[in-house]
Structure 1
Amino acid sequence: MMNRLFVALIGIPILVFILLNGGLPLLIFSNLIILIGLYEFYRMAELGGKKPFKILGYIGGMLIPNLLYFNYPKNIEVSMIFPLVLILLGTMGMRVLKNKVEESSDCVGITILGVMYVSILFSHLILMSKLPNGGKWLLAVQILVWVCDSFAYFTGISMGRKFFKNGFSVISPKKSVEGSIGGIVFTVLTLYLMNKYVGLITGEYSFYIIIILGLAISILAQIGDLGESMFKREFKIKDSGKLLGEHGGILDRFDSILFVVPTVYYILKFFTF
């Protein structure tokens, strides 16, 4: 309990400052999270019997946020695709030169999956920070993920299995349909109130965009959480790591953000910019 409190008291103010201000602190933060996240993902994969090319994965994964940051707004697509091409050529080339056949697709695939899952998704924080009100949106998204997670939990505790007898997912049997619905409702309501008093989006269609964003955030936050749980179940791991003590690993803390930030970024680009 004390460990959780300590991490929250120290980590939350730092996270708020980084998300609101962006710039170099956000780049450093992104590099750190991506590096640790890749380490945790590849470690889980190895414990599950996979053999990723970790060095190539680290190199490719660290290239993406830095290329995006220093090239923006030019060459966004190249900044994300080039490292993947580099990893694909490198991993397949190494297998060919070593005359390895067995499990080649697993080795190549898990290496690229790690970079796409951790680095490409998390690097969208940098892209969102460059949008108008980008810092406000990053902080809003993080708050909404916390809201969704908290109210899904409390709704599930108080009302779970009363209307829908079956669990929400075999991936995480303790989660209930009622909890999931509660997370969605309170996330949409919170975003509506935040927009009303902070003014994240204005205009004739702002109400509809807010509803779309609220639904997307709450649904994708839960999918991101379940997605990481899916990997942990496959690899037979309880937590992605122990870096944050009782909070688990980096991926345990940022699994929802990995899915939510890219989704919100593209919705904002499509509807408002």
Structure 2
Amino acid sequence: MLNRILVALIGIPLLMMILLKGGFLLLLFVNFIILVGLFEFFKMAEIGGKKPEVRLGYLAGLAIPNIIYFSTVDNLTLIFMPVILLTILLIGKRVLQNKVENSSRDIGITVLGVIYISGLFSHLLLMKNIPNGGKWLLTIQILVWVCDSFAYFTGMGIGRKIFKRGFSSISPKKSIEGSIGGTVFTMLAIYLLNRFLGLFSQDKNIVIVLLVGFLISMVAQIGDLGESMFKREFKVKDSGRLLGEHGGILDRFDSMLFVVPVVYYLLKLI
């Protein structure tokens, strides 16, 4: 319990400052999360019997955020360059080694790790380049916390009372009632945050604001359950122990991995 409190007291203010400030500090943060996240994912995969190409995975994964940050051309297209080169290198290495067994499995898990962690999380750097990018990053993190917290409290209170099955195959403790509770409070939270931070232009209808909150909640929960799906497949309880009782980096940022890219593309559209 003490570990949880200390991590929260130090980590939350620091994270909020980094998201708002951006710049080189955000780049360092993104690189750190990607590096540790890749380590945790590849380690889980190895426990699950897979054999990812770890070194090439690290190289490609760390290339993505740094290319985005230091590039002066269309950043979106550059996300794919390290992934494409990684795929060519992985297949080429197998061909030169004359290896056949489990090639698609091991190449696939390596590329998946890079796209899942680095490709998704690097969107934090892209988000900072849009109007109110810092406010949006902070808002997304707050909404993820709201969704996760109220899904937990609602699930503890009335979970499995109405909908019996829930998400038992992926995460036995997650219930549909909890999911609904998290969604409702996320929609309420984005309405209040928009009034306070002015995230949307004044001509945007309240229905649009609430729909964005609904979408964020749905995607956040998919991100959370997605990581649980991998952990269950690899037969591990937590992605790591870096944050003590809070688990690993992926356990804390699984929802952000999904929500930031979705909101980025949504804001580009509207």
Q: Please give the range of the TM-score, normalised by the shorter of the 2 chains.
A: over 0.9
Separation of aligned partners in 2, 1:103 and 1:36: 26
Please list, as runs of the form range in 1=range in 2, the aligned pairs for 1:132-171 lying within 5 A after superposition. 132-171=131-170
Do structure 1's residue 244 and structure 2's residue 243 form an aligned pair?
yes
Separation of aligned partners in 2, 1:110 and 1:28: 25
1:186, distance to aligned residue in structure 2 (A) = 0.3
1:266, distance to aligned residue in structure 2 (A) = 0.7
Please list, as runs of the form range in 1=range in 2, the aligned pairs for 1:84-123 lying within 5 A after superposition. 84-123=83-122
1:209, distance to aligned residue in structure 2 (A) = 2.6
Q: 1:227 aligns to what?
A: 226
Extract structure 1 runs of 4+ deviating beyond 6 A. none
Q: What is the one-letter code of the residue matched to 2:229?
A: M
Separation of aligned partners in 1, 2:259 and 2:162: 28
Q: 1:202 aligns to what?
A: 201
1:206, distance to aligned residue in structure 2 (A) = 4.0
Separation of aligned partners in 2, 1:203 and 1:269: 17
Q: 2:179 aligns to what?
A: 180
TM-score (norm 2): 0.98
Q: What is the one-letter code of the residue matched to 2:200?
A: I
Separation of aligned partners in 1, 2:54 and 2:25: 26
Q: What is the one-letter code of the residue matched to 2:18?
A: I
Q: 1:44 aligns to what?
A: 44
Separation of aligned partners in 1, 2:178 and 2:168: 12
Do structure 1's residue 13 and structure 2's residue 13 form an aligned pair?
yes
Contact 2:135-2:197 within 8 A present in 1 as well: no
Q: 2:125 aligns to what?
A: 126
Show CA shifts across 1:27-84 (max 9, x none).
0000000000001000101111111111111010001001111125x22233111101
Q: What is the one-letter code of the residue matched to 1:190?
A: A
Separation of aligned partners in 2, 1:114 and 1:264: 21
1:165, distance to aligned residue in structure 2 (A) = 2.1
Q: 1:263 aligns to what?
A: 262
Do structure 1's residue 3 and structure 2's residue 15 form an aligned pair?
no
> Number of paired residues?
270
Paired residue secondary structure (1:100):
coil
Contact 2:160-2:175 within 8 A present in 1 as well: yes
Separation of aligned partners in 1, 2:52 and 2:199: 41
Show CA shifts across 1:137-188 (max 9, x none).
1000000000000000111111112222222342012111111000000000
Q: What is the one-letter code of the residue matched to 1:114?
A: G
Separation of aligned partners in 2, 1:145 and 1:184: 10
Separation of aligned partners in 2, 1:190 and 1:78: 33
Q: 2:70 aligns to what?
A: 70
Paired residue secondary structure (2:79):
helix
1:198, distance to aligned residue in structure 2 (A) = 1.7
Aligned-residue identity in percent: 63
1:2, distance to aligned residue in structure 2 (A) = 0.5
Separation of aligned partners in 2, 1:150 and 1:48: 30
Q: What is the one-letter code of the residue matched to 1:17?
A: M
Q: What is the one-letter code of the residue matched to 1:15?
A: L
Q: Which runs of 5+ in 1 are unaligned?
A: none
Q: Which runs of 5+ in 2 are unaligned?
A: none
Q: What is the one-letter code of the residue matched to 2:222?
A: I
Q: What is the one-letter code of the residue matched to 1:122?
A: F
Q: What is the one-letter code of the residue matched to 2:62?
A: M
Separation of aligned partners in 2, 1:94 and 1:33: 28
1:227, distance to aligned residue in structure 2 (A) = 0.2
Separation of aligned partners in 1, 2:162 and 2:9: 37
